[in-house]
Amino acid sequence: MEGRSVVLLLTLALAVTVLSGCGRDRLVRSDDSGQPPVIEPDVERREITVPKIRKSDFEVGIFAGDLSVEDFGVNTVTGLTLAYHLTDKFFLQLDAGQTKVGLTSFERLSGAAQLLTDAERDYSYYNVQVGYDILPGEGFFGKKRAWNTATYLIGGVGKTKFAGDDRFTLNLGAGIRVMPLNWLAIHADVGDQIFDIDLLGKAKTAHNLGAHVGVTFFF
Amino acid sequence: MRRWWLVLSLCQLFVAATAAGAERHYREVAIADPYIDLHTGPGVGYPIFFVAERGEQIELLFRRTDWFKVRVPRGKEGWVHRDQLKTTLDPNGEEFNLPEPGLEDYAARRWEFGALYGDFGGANVIATYAAHSFSPNLSGEVWFSQSIGQFSDSTLWSMNIVHLMYPDKRISPYFTLGAGAITTHPKATLVATVDRTDSLALAGAGMRMYLSRRFVFRAEYKAHVVFTSRNDNEDIREWKAGVSFFF
């Protein structure tokens, strides 16, 4: 009973307000007079930003090592690598390196004879390779540290510029990656760069074995 | 020497960037499965060393391939596969869902880059390209390739129009027309040779197959006509195969 009378009263009040049309005027006037509204709206909108999950599939780094260029001795090689990890096992790798080759034993023994000019002794290469992590594991450094490791096989094709010519090169190799930190890896790898060469009179397939140590950063 | 400084400063920049990243907030999800496995590394071969239980909030630190480095409330950090995170819940109580690029994204791609390897008139060829899609069927491609043969090496660039027959299918044939230029360098062991550059036109056909995520396999055949300064034009046939990725 009481509820119904309240509803009736409110309906009447509403009707009076609407019909007289003064409700709106009064609101506007109260704003104009500069008085603060009775109820201060205290709504703070929450900005919901979902943090993005950082991806870390790329690996960039530098390496140095020894490269045995067939007939031209063992030389120090330096270079850069860039890798993209496709899956937990497969990765694509671009690498480029350069060295300067020494003398052949013929040149050294004959004394004066030079097979190549100084510029032709520059040996530079790039490779596009596919790698496969064959043995994932852990290495233990001291009592408290366990570092992730992976042994990988890698192979691909590339171009070697040596003795004034570009040579199509086949690469085969294997390496080990040790990861002291999430974003840091240390590599040690060995590889064979295979190309055909006819520099010393007869065409032959040259195997250029190398061993490198590198450091890479994941990003 | 200057090069090494550049490398060193790049390394420093990288370390600084990584250090700054340590302050950030991470995405949190709640485990809905009875438990999830934490591996020591990002791969199935790494052993499981910890399990986190249902209801626990885990932070997703970063991701490598399909693996997420996570932190559980007790401070342990490990790697969880994406498949196990699919059943976790985000703070709104909804299923955690990371959209992965799929076949629809492949059909709607704008940019594509790739590398192919094959045979160019008897020489080994390594080719790279960039492509832009004008419509689902039609795209433009810029190619750069290097071929290394027994007697000469060549560098080729070309601009191509490609028509893809079934753009929304996983496997589709395509046809291409293009024009460009080829520079031929005879081998240094041959005497009295000079480099020469000629323009060329090409027509070709190939097949593309969407693999997964952002990757596409493609194989193609192209017939080139090189407009030489000699009496006869030169025909060069090329086939190659490789992998591309798209955005």
Minimal Cα–Cα distance from B224 to chain A, Å? 21
What CA–CA distances, in Å, run from A78 to A63, A104, A121, A194? 6, 21, 15, 18
CB contact under 8 A, A148 and B25: no
Minimal Cα–Cα distance from B153 to chain A, Å? 7
Q: Is the distance from CB of B49 to CB of B36 less than 8 angstroms?
A: no
Residues of chain A contacting residue B90, judged by C-beta atoms under 8 Å apart: 50
Residues of chain A contacting residue B69, judged by C-beta atoms under 8 Å apart: 182
CA dihedral sign of residues A201, A207, A209, A214 = positive
Task: Count the neighbouring beta carbons within 10 Å of the beta carbon of residue A17.
Answer: 13
User: Of all helices (H) and strands (E), which one includes residue A186?
Assistant: strand A184-197
Residue B89 near chain A (CB below 8 Å): no
Residue A166 amino acid letter: D
B118: β partners: B125, B240
DSSP-based three-state secondary structure for A15: helix
Q: Is the distance from CB of B112 to CB of B245 less than 8 angstroms?
A: yes
**Interface pTM (ipTM) of the complex?**
0.73
Residue A93 amino acid letter: Q
How many residues comprise chain B?
247
Greater confidence (A156 vs A44) lies with A156
Residue A63 amino acid letter: F
- Tell me the pLDDT tens digit for each residue of A76-87: 999 999 999 988
Which of B 109-128 lie inside 8 A of A, CB atoms?
Answer: 115, 117, 123-124, 126
Residues of chain B contacting residue A183, judged by C-beta atoms under 8 Å apart: 14, 18
User: Of all helices (H) and strands (E), which one includes residue A97?
Assistant: strand A90-100
Gap between the Cα atoms of A190 and A175, Å rounded = 6
Gap between the Cα atoms of B65 and A154, Å rounded = 19
- Smallest Cβ–Cβ distance between B148 and the set A128, A138, A159 belongs to A159
User: Of all helices (H) and strands (E), which one includes residue A6?
Assistant: helix A2-20
Among candidate residues B144, B146, B163, the one with its CA nearest the CA of residue B154: B146
Gap between the Cα atoms of A61 and A77, Å rounded = 14
Q: Could you read off the pLDDT tens digit of each residue along chain B, which spans 247 residues?
A: 556 666 566 656 555 555 544 456 788 888 888 888 999 999 888 999 999 888 888 888 999 988 999 999 888 899 998 888 887 877 777 777 777 788 888 888 899 999 999 999 989 899 999 999 999 999 999 999 999 887 888 999 999 999 999 988 999 999 999 999 999 888 766 666 677 899 999 999 999 999 878 889 999 999 999 998 888 888 999 999 999 988 8
Residues of chain A contacting residue B96, judged by C-beta atoms under 8 Å apart: none
Nearest residue of chain B to residue A134 (CA atoms): B45
Greater confidence (B58 vs A5) lies with B58
CB contact under 8 A, A217 and B11: yes
Q: What is the pLDDT of residue B104?
A: 85
Residue B66 amino acid letter: D
Q: What is the pLDDT of residue A20?
A: 56
How many residues comprise chain A?
219
The number of C-beta contacts closer than 8 angstroms across A and B is 99
Residues of chain B contacting residue A89, judged by C-beta atoms under 8 Å apart: 43
Residues of chain B contacting residue A57, judged by C-beta atoms under 8 Å apart: 64-65
Q: Is the pTM of this model over 0.90?
A: no
User: Of all helices (H) and strands (E), which one includes residue A9?
Assistant: helix A2-20
CB contact under 8 A, A138 and B60: no
CB contact under 8 A, B215 and A87: no
Q: What is the 3-state secondary structure (H, E, C) of chain B?
A: CHHHHHHHHHHHHHHHHHHHHCCCCCEEEECCCCEEEEECCCCCCCCEEEEEECCCEEEEEEEECCEEEEECCCCCEEEEEHHHHCCCECCCCCECCCCCCCHHHHHCCCEEEEEEEEEECCEEEEEEEEEEECCCCEEEEEEEEEEECCCEEEEEEEEEEEEECCCCCCEEEEEEEEEEEEEEEECCCCCCCCCEEEEEEEEEEEEEEEEECCEEEEEEEEEEEEECCCCCCEEEEEEEEEEEEEC
Q: What is the pLDDT of residue A153?
A: 97
CA angle (B163, B168, B174) in 5-degree steps: 25
- Smallest Cβ–Cβ distance between A168 and the set B60, B124, B188 belongs to B124
Q: What is the pLDDT of residue B18?
A: 53
Residues of chain A contacting residue B68, judged by C-beta atoms under 8 Å apart: 53
- Tell me the pLDDT tens digit for each residue of A107-135: 888 877 788 888 889 999 999 999 999 99
Burial state string for B95-120 with b = 16 or more CB within 10 A and e = fewer than 16: ebeeeebeeeebeebeebebbbbbeb
CB contact under 8 A, A148 and B46: yes
Minimal Cα–Cα distance from A99 to chain B, Å? 15
Q: Is the distance from CB of B181 to CB of B144 less than 8 angstroms?
A: no
Residues of chain B contacting residue A62, judged by C-beta atoms under 8 Å apart: 7
Q: What is the pLDDT of residue A98?
A: 94
CB contact under 8 A, A157 and B185: no
Gap between the Cα atoms of A67 and B236, Å rounded = 36
Q: What is the pLDDT of residue B11?
A: 58
Domain segments of chain A as ranges: 58-218
Gap between the Cα atoms of A173 and A153, Å rounded = 6
DSSP-based three-state secondary structure for A111: coil
Q: Is the distance from CB of B193 to CB of B184 less than 8 angstroms?
A: no
Residue A132's Cα: distance from chain center in Å?
Answer: 16
Among candidate residues A146, A182, A153, the one with its CA nearest the CA of residue A56: A182
Domains (ranges, CATH) in chain B?
A: 24-98 (2.30.30.40), 105-246 (2.40.160.20)
CB contact under 8 A, B14 and A219: yes
Q: Which CATH class is domain A58-218?
A: mainly beta
The mean of the pLDDT values for chain A is 85
Minimal Cα–Cα distance from A130 to chain B, Å? 11
Q: What is the pLDDT of residue B211?
A: 86
Please determine, for residue A23, whether its predicted confidence score (pLDDT) is greater than 50: no
Minimal Cα–Cα distance from A41 to chain B, Å? 26
Minimal Cα–Cα distance from B123 to chain A, Å? 9
- Beta strand B111-120 with A204-218 is unpaired
**Residue from A166, A176, A219 to probe the interface with B (highest B Cβ count within 10 Å):** A166
Q: What percent of chain A has pLDDT over 70?
A: 85
